[in-house]
Structure 1
Amino acid sequence: MSKILGIDYGKVITGLSITDNKQVFAFGLDAIPTKQLMNFLESFFFNEKIDKIVIGLPKKLNNQKEILIETDIQAFINKFCIKYPKIIIERLDERFTSKIAFNTMIELGLKKKKRRKKAILNKISAIIILQSYLAKKEKEINL
Structure 2
Amino acid sequence: MVELNTPQLNAVFHALGDATRRRMLHELADGERTVSQLAEPFAISLAAASKHVKALENAGLIRREVRWRTHVCSLEPGPLASAHQWLSAYERFWTERLDVLEGLLRQEKSSTPLTKPEGEENDGTGKP
The two structures have a TM-score, normalised by structure 2, of 0.29
Larger radius of gyration: 2
Q: Which has the higher contact order (CA 8 A, sep 6+)?
A: 1
Name the structure with the higher helix share.
2
